[in-house]
Amino acid sequence: MPRNPVADLPREVGVLIVVAFFVALGFGIVAPALPLFARTFGVGTAASAAVISVFAFLRIAFAFPAGRLIDRVGERLVLATGIGIVAVSSALAGLAQSYWQLVVLRGAGGVGSAMFSISAMSVLVRLVPTAQRARAVGLWSGGFLLGGIAGPGLGGVITSVSIRLPFFLYAGTLAISGSVALVALRSTPLADKGSAAALTRTSLPDALRMPAFRAALAANFADAWGSMGVRAALIPLFVVEVLHRSVVWTGVGFLLVTGINALVLLPAGSYADRVGRRPVLISGCALAGLAFLVLAVWPSLPGFLIAMAVLGLGSGLLDVAPAAVVGDIVEGRGGPVFAAYSMSSDVANVVGPIAAGAIAEVSYSGAFGLTALILGGAVLAGFRMPETKLIADARSARESLAQVGEQVVDVLDADREPDEVARDLQGGARNAGMGHAPGVLDERLDAAE
């Protein structure tokens, strides 16, 4: 891995990392203000929480329409439009004069968020070569992670100044990221309509028949259920009600998860690119499941801290492997495939806290045990999948051979000297990422001579 982790990656990866950071930063800024702003309209706690839920529900409802839209008009336009929708709806939400205006505008934001996240992932995993894909996904996740860390702290300070100001700042960060994406990605080759690559496409039914895609869905669902949903909903209550500790320890635990997660992203991505996605996916699910098992059987402060450290390690691995698997199996535009993958985490984020919370009313150990069981199921799905890096490598080699083969035809049809033909063949092979002309080309060169 180079000293600069983005130095050898396509320029667009850096663009998407910047976009991810500003989107997550703005979301974090507005998050502390949302329920408080809803309460200013005289509604209760449940109605205040509904303002947050409507965003998630609309993300789920619009996932497949967003995927189909990507197949029709392309990722760039859908990405920029989605960010624009969230930006405008956020600015208008800051001007809302009633509770229902706020609900409708946050719902519109969920629609735009689905458009952005699915198209951004499609751009990322399709644009980056197989040998760099997991590392690129890890860096992209890191952009979200850093923005998510910085946002809530700023949001708390800004909310103390004005309850409406965070919405306008959120709109501002989104305007920046949308403009960057629209300008910087305008010349990106993405198999637009009419190109040869667009003729080959992986449909959702085709993807669902693949064990690797089902394993990626299971891992993404389980990771979101545990690392995002259950952790955010139950851990704060668990620390206070079961461990009888200050909320400071909740912050310490969350800091452990986030810090270790950030440290793991790049090494995990590099390992998945060198060795394969399958061992990283299996290890990530197993470690995250172990973390919740520790919480279930050892409800103590040392057990809690160990579990949070292990969860950070597992979730870091799962931030790179499942998405890389999806990128490996998709050919051409596969908007509905990416939509299904995105939806698996959104559904878990909605259902997980509710289901685990209901069980936790009887037993926190039962809720954590259920989460470990779900992650264990994802481990089994991982064992049943093939190594998709090999499939993607074979596809890349086939495409590279086709590119060099086209050049062979060009140079053999020309009336040129053999040594000039040889130089062209070697140059074409290097440009195609093969390093040197394969044996079949050597044979054709001998024939040409």
CA torsion through residues 233, 237, 243, 245, sign = positive
Give per-residue burial for 78-90: e unless 16+ CB within 10 Å, then b: bbbbbbbbbbbbb
Give CB contacts under 8 A, 24+ apart, made by 150-155: 150/25, 150/28, 151/24, 151/25, 151/26, 151/27, 151/28, 151/29, 151/31, 152/28, 152/29, 152/31, 152/32, 153/28, 154/25, 154/28, 154/29, 155/28, 155/29, 155/30, 155/31, 155/32, 155/33
Point out the residues of the chain with pLDDT beneath 50: 192-199, 430-438, 440-441, 444-445, 448-449
pLDDT at 89: 94
Asked whether 400 and 130 are in contact (CB, 8 A), the reply is no
pLDDT at 192: 44
Count of positions (residues) in the chain = 449
| Alpha-carbon span 105 to 41, nearest angstrom | 15
Burial class (CB in 10 A: 0-12, 13-18, 19+), 104: middle
Alpha helices by DSSP H, listed for 275-334, are 277-297, 301-318, 321-329
Asked whether 201 and 78 are in contact (CB, 8 A), the reply is no
Asked whether 227 and 311 are in contact (CB, 8 A), the reply is yes
pLDDT at 107: 92
**pTM exceeding 0.95:** no
What Rg value do the Cα atoms of the chain yield, rounded? Answer: 24
Determine the Cα angle at 273 with ends 25 and 393, to 5°. Answer: 125
CA torsion through residues 21, 27, 32, 33, sign = positive
pLDDT at 173: 85
Determine the Cα angle at 7 with ends 5 and 10, to 5°. Answer: 105
pLDDT at 302: 96
| Alpha-carbon span 323 to 244, nearest angstrom | 38
